[in-house]
Amino acid sequence: MKIGLLGRKLGMTRVYDEKGKATAVTVIEAGGNTPLQVKTTERDGYAAVQVGYHTQKEQRVTEQLLGHFKKHNSEPQKLVKEFRLPDGTVLEGVIDLRVTQFAVGDPVDVIGQSKGKGFQGVMRKHNADGQGASHGSMMHRRPGAIGMRSTPGRIWKNASMPGHMGDERVTVQNLRVIQVREEDNCILVSGAVPGANGSYVVVRPAKKAKPEAKK
């Protein structure tokens, strides 16, 4: 049963198939996933597997979390996430959290924290056209008027305004597994995934999988 993986984005490269076609891929290191807790519908109200990743020192963990890790015979982990399962799912035996749970061609969703871009204006953040570029304009990259008249007497919510950009949870859906390298504990997925190199990502079976296009 495919549950999912926690890992780190190592970077991007390209791989070639037997016909010489190049495919851009992201390399995700996902070794050392540790099952911490199995939640059941009867006891917890939903079915899930709690997984830890990336061992760290005990002194860097709160006593509450340290007790949780020791209760489940695990070293302290930096990243702890849950993978939801269909209600009523019963897991028997050893839970397989190796990269080999995925096979070449499997569709996956990858979740990460996008790169932070800081405070940005409307042209960068919302792809606004901007205003006159000539010397006399004086409004080159400004958003322009945002006010209303007496009715409604306020500014509409969700207007495209300058503000903080990036550094948010992003999910990229329906990426394809290109290679699974068990000896390196790495999985290569097609295309780009959110986040900087070295950041944590979650790899799960695609929730809206599309049939693979015929070649």
pLDDT digits (tens, 9 = 90+) for 160-185: 999 999 999 999 999 999 999 999 99
Q: Which has the closest alpha carbon to 75: 38, 35, 48, 39?
A: 35
- Greatest mean pLDDT among 17-21, 32-36, 115-119, 132-136: 115-119
pLDDT of the residue at 88:
77
Task: Measure the CA–CA gap between 205 and 209, rounded to whole angstroms.
Answer: 8
Cα–Cα distance for residue pair 193/74, rounded to 1 Å: 29
Q: In the predicted model, what is the mean pLDDT of residues 3-16? A: 95
The predicted pLDDT at position 8 comes to: 96
> Where is 165: in which H helix or E strand?
strand 163-166
**Beta carbons within 8 Å of 56's beta carbon, 6+ residues apart:** 76, 77, 78
**Alpha-carbon distances of 90 from 15, 93, 207, rounded to whole Å:** 38, 10, 20
pLDDT at 147: 83
Q: What is the pLDDT of residue 215?
A: 58
Q: How far apart are CA 102 and CA 197, in angstroms?
A: 22
Arithmetic mean of pLDDT, 23-47: 92
Joined tokens for residue 62: 């709160």
Task: Considering only residues 15 and 86, tell me which one the structure prediction assigns the higher pLDDT.
Answer: 15
- Identify whether the C-beta of residue 200 lies closer than 8 Å to the C-beta of residue 8: yes
Q: Is 42 helix (H, G, I), strand (E, B) or coil?
A: helix
Average per-residue pLDDT in the chain? 92
pLDDT band at 125 (very low <50, low <70, confident <90, very high): very high
pLDDT at residue 92 in the model:
77
d(CA 99, CA 112): 18
Give the pLDDT score at 213.
62
127/125 Cα distance (integer angstroms): 6
Q: CB–CB of 118/125 below 8 Å?
A: no
With 90 as the cut, is the pLDDT of residue 86 above it?
Answer: no
State yes or no: cis peptide before 152, omega within 30 of 0: yes
Q: Give the amino acid at 164.
A: H
Type of residue numbered 165: M
The yes-or-no verdict on residue 212 having pLDDT over 70 is no
Q: What angle (nearest 5°) sits at the alpha carbon of residue 12, between those of residues 8 and 18? A: 120
Q: Is the pLDDT of residue 124 over 80?
A: yes
